[in-house]
């Protein structure tokens, strides 16, 4: 029941997998982020879309 309540709001209607959270969290430390500065990259499953 608690899963049903938690999944009401996010547009994806699913919980994030560990890899889906880990990849964006590790990105700022990678070589691919060398030109990235001063950005905010929210990982919120679309909660801010409301």
pLDDT (tens digit per residue) in 8-18: 777 778 888 89
Q: Over the stretch 22-33, which tens digit does the pLDDT of each residue have?
A: 998 899 999 999
pLDDT value, residue 50: 63
For residues 6-45, one letter each, b for 16 or more C-beta atoms within 10 angstroms of the residue's C-beta and e for the rest, the string is: eeeebeeeeeeeeeeeeeeeeeeeeeeeeeeeeeeeeeeb
The pTM (predicted TM-score) of the whole model is: 0.55
For residue 13, give the nearest of 42, 36, 47, 40 by alpha carbon: 47
**Using alpha carbons only, what angle is made at residue 10 by residues 8 and 13, rounded to the nearest 5 degrees?**
70
């Amino acid at each position: 029941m608690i899963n049903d309540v938690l999944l009401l709001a996010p547009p994806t209607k699913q919980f994030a997998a560990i890899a889906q959270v880990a990849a964006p969290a590790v990105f700022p430390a990678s070589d691919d982020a060398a030109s990235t500065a001063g950005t905010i990259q929210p990982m919120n499953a679309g909660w801010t879309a409301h």
